[in-house]
Amino acid sequence: MNTKSYFFQSFAIVALALVAFIGFKQILPDKIFSESKMNSKNVLIDSLLLEAVAKDSLGTNDSLDAIEDQEGKEEIVYENIEGIEFPSETFDNYKGYQYLISFYEKLYQLEKHPESNVRIAYYGDSMTDGDLIVQDVRTNYQERFGGNGVGFVSITSESAASRGSVKSTYSKNWKTQSYLNVKKPSSPFGVNGHVFFANDKANPTWVQYEAGTNKYSTTLDNPTLFYGRASRNGKVNFIIGKDTLKKNLAPNNLINTLKVSSGHLKAFKANFINADSIPIYGFNFDNGSGVHVDNFSQRGNSGLPISMFNANVMQGFNKSLKYDLIILHYGTNVLNYGTKNYNWYERGMTKTVNKIKESFPGVSILIVSTADKSTKYDLEMKTDSAVVPLMKAQKRYALDTESGFVNLYTLMGGDGSMVKWVDETPAKANKDYTHFNQRGAKAIGNLLYTQLNKGYEEYKILREKREAVANQQRAARKTKADSTSVKNDSVNE
């Protein structure tokens, strides 16, 4: 074997590679991924997040730390609202039950009048995908206050196959537009942040629903279609067992409804005919009383796209659905942007909350913070350094917008808790150290409900004290009036 020959061959290959690299380096860009601004015409989520980060998040955090230290010690004293005043709080322990009074009053009236109803819209990201967390909040409320049904369900969904609370399948020829990646939809987005079109005239465009197995959702209650305004009418055939109900779509108003049938169904299929121009939003399933919770989850969402909602359209939805509480549960997609200064996110989400107030007048709003998330530091998984700054930013815009607040980070255990949830036997979170599994999602849903219910129980005590004071005042006025009447009678005699 000629080892000298092999040596020179190897040397020649390395030399050629080096020459080739030097040659190509002259024509390659300095960076493989360009730093130029991307075309954000149809990428709403990226443009909102990245533009805000570029403008505001590169400053130092020194001044922010000073502000946080001062905030944590300041006392938050609430103004009396119709005789109700929750105890003062500090920024560190802020929950904002005072700002949930209108929601709590509706629950109170529901306890007194079980035929009434309360409705919650739960907006979230991948944390609530597949109805995780939300289905457990829903079950807790329906267990206590009554109510059947999963609420509003979209036409298509990324998580349709994995959702247990309702089963849905659909044809592949739906045209879907989402507030996540479209700035100017063909028709306004619905309350779920989507709009759908039966876009194929040559082939049937359909969706089929089947009741799930979750408690209180084993039937499809009073199924009702929601659709928007268009210049042409259309038709839809509802196939229920062996029967077919043929109905017309009259898209005259911003928001229109069409009831499939009254009562309870196990399953049905909807075939849309000549309806390609009509914006379709989804179906609502509820029995009309008790508590109903709609899950409006969207993977990749930061919450900022909600600020693009059409307030008039949302008011049209609210006329039928009548929301009492709107929950915003975001944060997963906002971490890891190379910053711990989230002033830009505070401003963006303040705009989002104000849009909700405009769209759903008088509704209570609850902000749920980011959960713990772990990242590897020096070969060890630890709480990501951006989690606490983001959580505090979420708390600040909750306080500034007079919204309730759930600190999910501390609720699940605080620093290092995600590692514990992953390492538990059985585990309650996935190996990405970000998302909960079914078991963990149920635990989180129970924790959220417990905090909300604690506020409600405190509200009832305050309300009953207010009623007792009012009764004492009425009794005192009556006694005074009776005494005056007796004196007058004595004088007349």
Model confidence pLDDT, tens digit, residues 3-58: 445 555 655 555 555 545 444 444 333 333 333 333 434 434 545 565 666 666 44
Question: Can you give the pLDDT at residue 367?
Answer: 98
Average pLDDT, the chain: 87
Question: Can you give the pLDDT at residue 37?
Answer: 37
The CA distance from 335 to 346, in Å, is 13
Residue percentage of the chain with pLDDT more than 90: 73
Average of per-residue pLDDT across 427-447: 97
Spatial contact of 408 and 371, defined as CB atoms under 8 Å apart: yes
Tens digits of per-residue pLDDT, 330-348?
999 998 776 789 999 999 9
Question: Can you give the pLDDT at residue 186?
Answer: 92
User: Which of 477, 389, 430 is closest to 68 using CA atoms?
Assistant: 389
- pLDDT greater than 60 at residue 178: yes
Q: Which residues contact 363 (CB under 8 A, 6 or more apart)?
A: 102, 103, 323, 324, 325, 326, 356, 357
Question: Can you give the pLDDT at residue 35?
Answer: 32
- Residue the block writes with tokens 């007058």: 488
Average of per-residue pLDDT across 458-476: 88
The CA distance from 450 to 442, in Å, is 12
pLDDT band at 162 (very low <50, low <70, confident <90, very high): confident
* pTM, rounded to two decimals: 0.87
Question: Can you give the pLDDT at residue 26?
Answer: 44
Tens digits of per-residue pLDDT, 186-206?
999 999 999 999 988 788 899
pLDDT band at 493 (very low <50, low <70, confident <90, very high): low
The CA distance from 348 to 153, in Å, is 27
Tens digits of per-residue pLDDT, 76-121?
999 998 899 999 999 999 999 999 999 999 999 999 999 999 999 9
The CA distance from 70 to 271, in Å, is 60
- Beta-carbon count within 10 A of 296 CB: 22
pLDDT band at 491 (very low <50, low <70, confident <90, very high): low
Pull the structure tokens for residue 463. Answer: 């309300």
Helix (H) or strand (E) holding 235: strand 234-240
- Beta-carbon count within 10 A of 246 CB: 10
Average of per-residue pLDDT across 207-236: 96
- pLDDT greater than 70 at residue 232: yes
Beta bridge partners of 374: 383
- pLDDT greater than 70 at residue 69: no
Question: Can you give the pLDDT at residue 478?
Answer: 75
Q: Cα angle vertex 164, ends 356, 135, to 5°?
A: 40
Spatial contact of 148 and 265, defined as CB atoms under 8 Å apart: no
Average of per-residue pLDDT across 275-279: 95
Question: Can you give the pLDDT at residue 108?
Answer: 98
Which of the residue ranges 69-83, 133-147, 173-187, 443-457 would you say has the lowest mean pLDDT?
Answer: 69-83
The CA distance from 136 to 141, in Å, is 9
User: Which CATH fold topology does 40-151+288-492 show?
Assistant: Rossmann fold (3.40.50)
- pLDDT greater than 60 at residue 1: no
Do the strands 404-406 and 364-368 form a parallel or antiparallel pair, or are they unpaired? Answer: parallel
Question: Can you give the pLDDT at residue 230?
Answer: 96
